[in-house]
């Protein structure tokens, strides 16, 4: 593999509740190991049909607001055609259409370029699958 490309997989346990998990620290640690002061792109990808990646403020209620909004837009009831799993699980399979399973972000001088209040987050509403993988890839 080229020196200009590096990749790693994070194993994340989200538990039995809907969660927004801040991955910013893990992304920064990955870049410290792989970017070596270079410019490039960080791609964050979750290879699951029921989770997504969001860039948002955390810790000030925005993560809870996102989950509340998803509850409003995607109620956990029996309206969904996709019916295996817990009641309302079909909504989890619609989630990636609203919160995509990936994000690509600029890296300048080996550092993630986020706005002051922005964080990289895993969004997981699927209570049936408490273990997730997130692939981080740097191209620079």
CA distance 93 to 48: 9
Per the CB < 8 A criterion, the answer to whether 124 and 51 are in contact is yes
Sequence-distant (≥ 6) Cβ neighbours of residue 25 within 8 angstroms: none
Longest Cα separation, the chain: 50
The full set of domains in the chain, from first to last, is: 5-139 (2.60.120.460)
CA distance 69 to 58: 15
Predicted structure pTM score: 0.93
pLDDT-based confidence at residue 2 (cuts at 50, 70, 90) = low
pLDDT score at 1: 46
pLDDT-based confidence at residue 110 (cuts at 50, 70, 90) = very high
């Amino acid at each position: 593999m080229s020196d200009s490309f590096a990749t790693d997989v994070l194993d994340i346990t989200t538990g039995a509740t809907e969660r927004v998990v801040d991955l910013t620290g893990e992304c920064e640690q990955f870049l410290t190991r792989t970017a070596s002061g270079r410019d490039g792109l960080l791609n964050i990808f979750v290879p699951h049909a029921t989770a997504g990646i969001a860039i948002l403020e955390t810790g000030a209620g925005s993560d809870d607001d996102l989950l509340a909004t998803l509850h409003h837009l995607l109620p956990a009831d029996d309206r969904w055609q996709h019916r295996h799993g817990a009641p309302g699980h079909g909504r989890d399979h619609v989630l990636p259409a609203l919160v995509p399973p990936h994000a690509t972000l600029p890296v300048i001088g080996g550092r993630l370029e986020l706005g002051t209040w922005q964080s990289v987050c895993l969004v997981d509403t699927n209570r049936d699958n408490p273990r997730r993988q997130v692939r981080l890839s740097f191209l620079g």
